[in-house]
Amino acid sequence: MLEKRQQKYKTFKTVTKKNYYISFLLLISILASSCGNNKYVSKEYISTNLSNEKIELSEELFSKLKKDHYIKKFVEEDFNEKYIRALIEKLDENKFFFTQGEVDLFIEKSKNYSGSDFDIDEAYEIINLYFKRLVNFSEYQIRAIEKNSFNFNKEEFMDIYYEDNKWVETSEHLNELWRLQTKNELLVAMIADELSDQPKKDLIKRYTNKIRRIQQQREEDIFSIAMNTLTNQFDPHSSYLSPRSAEDFDMNMSLKLEGIGALLGVKDDYTEIVSLVAGGPAEKSGKILPKDRITKIKQKDLPGSDYVDVIGWRIDEVVDLIRGEAGTEVEIEFISSESGEDIRKLVTLQREEIKLEDRAAKSKVHQIVNGPKIGIIDLPSFYIDFNGYQNKSNDYKSSSGDIKNILNGFNDQNVDAVILDLRNNGGGALMEANKIIGLFVASGPTVQVKHSAGYIQPYGDSRAIQVWKKPLVVMVNRYSASASEIVAGAIQDYQRGLVVGQRTFGKGTVQSLEKLSKGQIKITESKYYRVSGTSTQNKGVVPDIELPVTWDIETVGESSYPTSLKWDTVRPYRHKKFILDSNKLENIKNLYAQRLANEPNLAYLEKVRQRYDLNKNKKELSLNIDIRESEKTLRKEWLLELENERRSLLGLIAFETYADLLEESKDESPGDEDSINIEEDFLLIEVTNIVKDFLNLKIILSKVD
């Protein structure tokens, strides 16, 4: 097999040169002729060759996937074609770097590859071409800005609706896409709130640094792209961890990493927030969201430190800038996932070592005036001190132990109902999820796990004692995943309480981590099913009452992954349900619907969502500076008007200007990190109203014998 690949690679280099030599000469001649008197000296990208070590490692990885993955007999005759198509789509999702002819050649070549295997040689060929085009694009941008020929008074538009994009036919068409993109990036720099006195120089520096970093690519970078595209053909959660990535993963699991508490990924030229670590600085700030894109980083504790533009940087270099000693501060500029390209936000974070205590459950008793006492529990993760558990310590820390103590305290204080907040809880230990369910439903099955061998194993806590017997409402959102979905699903299946919020993430799979000769591989090995027999995979848990959300949740979550495993069912597992009057539940939903139309905070969220949908469906972006300035001003005026409308209805003082609103937002601190912000959390406020309705209707919960 290895000899076959080595011989094939000798011919691959010749074919590559033959196929693209003419194309690149044409592209370079276009660049030279269109840029006039150049100051930038072109630097040719040197392709990375496939080493014998990586050939052997790829075969080892592929063998493990076929043997140990949950889905058996996955690899079929057309596997390589699907793999190559996925790689092309991953690299050039917006159809910005390849031509249609090149894509057709790659696909045709992939079909001719014999056997139920994958062609890593062609993968390297495509990835190398991609990085060459990135260099060509950046060089084009430098020369275009040096030429200084953009007319920002011209009525010109750029297509920003990428879903219907097709690859262009020629290099000249690519050139036009690049021109419009460069013009837009310069326009954004010119009208940014934090104005630079030299936007052109800043952009040229960014593009030059980007080229330098691409030129510094190592084979491990190319190999990781090829292998993670391969593992993602099985499912989105199976992945290859390079030796460096495996080291980072181990640090995250042991919680000894000093930083901001965020998982980062790459999207186009940006380092993007993928998820937030519960209890970390980013999550506690309340100002950072998944899909926010990082643009600049500043070390606050270094005298004379300036912002570093990190657009186009390698992700490991961005991570190195963000990491630092606990107690030091870093300021990060983001493009918010909820706003347009022209709007940036600055967030200052203090680095810290994320400890188990930071991820612990928090609680608060909320006394409604002339009304009930409501106990609120915020559970950021399903944590457990595994060392203490394995050593049979009597007081090891765990989420189930903490929640049990909180519930006992609520009972002592005569609390009337509990809200269990699982928003943004990405999961954790399955045994903890089982124990927490038991605190509300007593003994019984909580979840079923189907293993790759085909057998189904029920899980639960046969010794569980129901600590809380009064009404329960569980809050979830799109970032509630895995163990959170098990808990929410069980509460629904047992009819123990209400689940409110948004449809959950839909991660109903379990992964194991296995060592390779170099690095590690994470493989999906089993699936979760609810006791009702339905899977949480892909569809997630659908809440009984759906709360408003300001963005499109379908853009993230399991269902947004093209290779996610399908939703299915198994046989239900016998369990004793609680009696929950369906007619009274309908009354609760009707009362909520009435508030949704009139309550100021909920109306505010609905209007933000309407604006989001309007921007999301926008097809074109003007490249006229007057129009863009006007759009930016109108957006600020709309935000100010919307906020003041909300404040007026609530009897609060209105802001005079947008600057006042912005200053108030900057001055807002996350407050006491151990507290639950009932005053500012609009959805939590509404859930207390739902709980009040629950209590007023005198719904009695009892288990069927």
- Check whether residue 373 and residue 476 sit in a common domain: yes
Nearest Cα residue to 22 out of 83, 126, 100, 102: 102
Q: What gap in Å lies between CA 615 and CA 152, rounded to an integer? A: 22
Residue 363 CA from chain centroid, whole number: 27
* Per-residue pLDDT at 93 exceeds 70: yes
Query: Which has more pLDDT, 41 or 340?
Result: 41
> Which of 183, 362, 507, 692 is labelled catalytic?
507
On whether both 416 and 545 belong to a single domain, the answer is: yes
Q: Give the structural domain span for 123.
A: 2-231
Find the range with the poorest average confidence among 153-167, 364-378, 398-412, 672-686: 672-686
- Same domain membership, residue 312 and residue 362: no
pLDDT confidence of residue 300: 85
CATH number at residue 452: 3.90.226.10
Per-residue pLDDT of 548-592, as tens digits, reads 998 888 889 999 999 999 999 999 999 989 988 888 889 999 999
C-beta separation of 28 from 36 below 8 A: no
Q: Which two tokens stand for residue 110?
A: 């992939």
What does the pLDDT read at residue 703? 60
Q: What band does 618 get if pLDDT is binned at 50, 70 and 90?
A: confident
Which listed residue (269, 416, 493, 544) is catalytic? 493
Residues 320 and 379 in one domain: no
Assess contact for 242 and 390: CB atoms under 8 A: no
Pairing of β 545-546 and β 498-501: parallel
pLDDT at 3 > cutoff 50: no
Q: Are residues 377 and 474 in the same domain?
A: yes
Q: What is the mean pLDDT of residues 27-39?
A: 43
- Convert the pLDDT of each residue in 503-542 to its tens digit: 999 999 999 989 999 999 999 999 999 999 999 999 999 9
In angstroms, rounded to a whole number, what is the distance separating the alpha carbons of residues 449 and 531? Answer: 10
Angle between helices 682-696 and 600-616 (to 10 degrees): 130
- What phi-psi label fits residue 454: left (phi over 0), alpha (psi between -120 and 50 degrees) or beta? left
Is 658 within the bounds of a domain?
A: no
Angle at 149 between CA 143 and CA 150, to 5 degrees: 105
Whether residue 623 is contained in a domain is answered as no
Mark which of 353, 375, 405 sits at the end of a domain.
353
**Across the chain, what does the average pLDDT equal?**
86
Q: Do both 304 and 208 map to the same domain?
A: no
Q: Which residue has the tokens 């031509």?
A: 99
pLDDT above 70: percentage of residues in the chain = 87
Question: Which of 32, 20, 270, 44 is CA-nearest to residue 140?
Answer: 32
Tens digit of each residue's pLDDT (9 = 90 or more) over 177-188: 999 999 999 999
Do 333 and 388 belong to one domain? no
Q: Is residue 456 part of a domain?
A: yes
% of the chain surpassing 90 pLDDT: 56
- Confidence band of 80 (pLDDT split at 50, 70, 90): very high
Query: Of the ranges 67-76, 220-229, 319-328, 574-583, which is most confident?
Result: 220-229
pLDDT digits (tens, 9 = 90+) for 645-677: 999 999 999 999 988 888 887 655 444 444 688
Active-site entry in 482, 532, 535, 564: 482
Q: Could you say which of 336, 353, 370 is where a domain stops?
A: 353
Last residue of a domain, one of 563, 578, 593: 578
Do 322 and 438 share a structural domain? Answer: no
Q: Which amino acid is at 276?
A: L
CATH of the domain at 328: 2.30.42.10
47 within a domain of the structure (yes/no):
yes
What local confidence, expressed as pLDDT, does residue 291 receive? 83
Kindly tell me if the per-residue pLDDT of 450 is higher than 80. Answer: yes
* pLDDT tens-digit readout, 279-297: 778 887 878 888 888 988 9
Q: What is the mean pLDDT of residues 343-347?
A: 81
Q: Confidence band (pLDDT; 50, 70, 90) for 418?
A: very high
Spatial distance between the Cα atoms of 528 and 485, rounded to a whole number of angstroms = 10
Predicted pLDDT at 24: 39
507 in catalytic set? yes
532 within a domain of the structure (yes/no): yes
Q: Same structural domain for residues 128 and 183?
A: yes
Place of tokens 């961005």: 318
Q: In sequence order, what are the beta bridge partners of 578?
A: 703
Whether 340 has a pLDDT exceeding 80, the answer reads no
**Contact in structure between 440 and 654 (CB atoms under 8 Å):** no
Helix %, strand %, coil % of the chain (to 5): 45, 15, 40
Do both 120 and 267 map to the same domain? Answer: no
- With beta carbons less than 8 A apart as the criterion, state whether 495 and 481 touch: no
Q: Which residue has the tokens 């080291």?
A: 247
Q: Whole-prediction pTM value?
A: 0.83
Do 217 and 272 share a domain, yes or no?
no
**pLDDT score at 234:** 94
Q: Are residues 540 and 506 in the same domain?
A: yes
Counting the structural domains of the chain, the total is 3
Q: Clarify whether 581 is annotated catalytic.
A: no
pLDDT higher than 60, residue 256: no
Q: Is the pLDDT of residue 248 over 80?
A: no
User: Residue 680: inside a domain, yes or no?
Assistant: no
Alpha carbon distance 613, 618 (integer Å): 9
Q: What is the pLDDT of residue 244?
A: 67
pLDDT of amino acid 261: 80
Residue 187 lies in a domain: yes
Mark whether 576 is an active-site residue: no
In whole angstroms, give the CA distance from residue 394 to residue 385.
12
Give the mean pLDDT of 591-620.
90
**What mean pLDDT do residues 69-80 have?**
83
Would the pLDDT of 251 be above 70? Answer: no
pLDDT above 70 for 191: yes
Q: Is the dihedral of CA 672, 673, 675, 678 positive or negative?
A: positive
Residue 488 lies in a domain: yes
Helix axes 682-696, 582-598, angle to 10 degrees: 140
d(CA 70, CA 453): 8
Q: Tell me, what's the pLDDT at 699?
A: 65
In what helix (H) or strand (E) does residue 673 lie, and over which residues does it extend? none
Higher pLDDT, 151 or 257: 151
The answer to whether residue 16 scores a pLDDT higher than 50 is no
pLDDT for 461 beyond 90: no
